[in-house]
Structure 1
Amino acid sequence: MREIAINGKKREATGKKASKLQRKEGLVPCNLYGEVKGQNGQPEALAFSAPMSELRKAIYSPHVFVVNLNIDGKECKAIIKELQFHPTTDALLHADFYEVNETKAITVGIPVKLNGLAQGVREGGKLSLSIRKINVTAPYKQIPEVLNVDVTNLGLGKAIKVGELSFEGLELATPAQVVVCSVKETRASKAAAATAE
């Protein structure tokens, strides 16, 4: 996985009013959930803020990043777990980070890349990608930037499902019956089939 650095500062004041003031200054309110647990056994959040200028590189990108967070000089590695956007302006309102290490397994969505020329496309069909990402579970060091799926033998009217795929060192968390890609019939392929008959 790619890595990116983001600097943050602890938030002393929380709540709607404080968050609004921070956004006006170009900062985004964030929480970091890590190893520290509260009295109820749930992970305790560290409230901090980070510049939108730095977050933008990690958010508006097709890649999935491990974030090297530096919060007031304290460093840790994390992944972006959840983002909240304004319903009408699409402005980023809040970001949640989840602390990671080299041994703890995490679940993240990794982009799918289709490789090869499908048999069904050679027969006039159209290749269609149904899902852009597949959720995988593994320690972050084992997670690749993309999941390569070979479609060379994919015939006309056929599909590849998540359950048919396997990647070394990764556990697939997306349901097995979900279709990754398929080759759909087109007028050209139907005409070619009729001519062949």
Structure 2
Amino acid sequence: MTKFTKIEVSSRAKAGKGAARATRRAGLVPGVIYGAGQEPVLIALDPRIVYRELHKSGWRSRIYDISVEKGASVHALLREVQLHPVSDAPIHVDYQRLAAGHKVHVEVEIRFEGEEVSPGVKRGGVMNIVRHTVDVVVDPANIPEFFTADLSKLDFHDNVRWEDLKGTENVTPVQHDNNFVIANVAPPSIDEDAEAAEAEATTEG
């Protein structure tokens, strides 16, 4: 079942820089909901909502159930957050309205498990995380919250690839190579000078 994060926003009557500044002076963040062949809706929301969502992992694929005052709720993705260059305070947010049957590009987070029991890591290898997210095309009804990568069986030179991820049903990766690497284990590096010195010392002994 698709999970929704419910948020409440208010509507804005006017567009433009002056209206946006007025919204910020009132302590709110101006924003817009666009897409799905409908007219954009100008909104304003509490900056604490924006901060809260940005500090959660996987916000780029989270579906929001946005209640605009007394109107019908809208399902949307948080597409862009503009931040103040000095204070990092949110100054504008863009939400993309979703419509069933209209596929969207989504960046989905990968969650990793089992690294602590990986045979390669236990033997001193280094776990290389190649990708933390994957861009996919998916129907809004099937947007995954995250993918899961199991690292528990990786030894030296082993990989986790796209086909190994859990939760990829009903999605198509944007990358043309459909079985790209997500993570791998590299053997421990050898200090050749130290190894030669040790061999020489052993020979002399």
TM-score interval, normalised by the smaller of the two chains? 0.7 to 0.9
Change (3 A) 1:35 1:146: closer
Moved more, 159-168 or 103-112: 159-168
Rg larger for: 2
- The aligned residue for residue 197 of structure 2 is none
Query: What RMSD over aligned residues (CA atoms) do the two structures have, in Å?
Result: 3.1
Moved more, 170-179 or 26-35: 170-179
Amino acid at match of 1:63: G
Amino acid at match of 1:115: E
Aligned residue pairs: how many?
188
Q: Which stretches in structure 1 are left out of the alignment for 5+ residues?
A: 38-43, 192-197
Q: CA deviation at 1:188?
A: 7.9
- The aligned residue for residue 89 of structure 2 is 91
- The aligned residue for residue 103 of structure 2 is 105
- Whole-angstrom CA distance in 2 between matches of 1:16 and 1:63: 30
Moved more, 149-158 or 57-66: 149-158
Aligned residue for 2:36, secondary structure, equals strand
Q: CA deviation at 1:67?
A: 0.8
CA contact (8 A) 2:147 2:165 kept: no
- The aligned residue for residue 20 of structure 2 is 19
TM-score normalized by the length of structure 2: 0.75
- Whole-angstrom CA distance in 2 between matches of 1:88 and 1:186: 42
> Which of 67, 70, 73 pairs up with 2:70?
73
- Whole-angstrom CA distance in 1 between matches of 2:158 and 2:100: 39
- Whole-angstrom CA distance in 2 between matches of 1:163 and 1:173: 14
- The aligned residue for residue 48 of structure 1 is 43
Identity of aligned residues (%): 21
CA contact (8 A) 2:105 2:137 kept: yes
- Whole-angstrom CA distance in 1 between matches of 2:37 and 2:102: 15
Amino acid at match of 1:96: D
Q: CA deviation at 1:178?
A: 5.8
CA contact (8 A) 1:2 1:63 kept: no
Q: Which stretches in structure 2 are left out of the alignment for 5+ residues?
A: 195-205
Name the structure where strand makes up a greater proportion of residues.
1
- Whole-angstrom CA distance in 1 between matches of 2:76 and 2:172: 20
Change (3 A) 1:150 1:175: farther
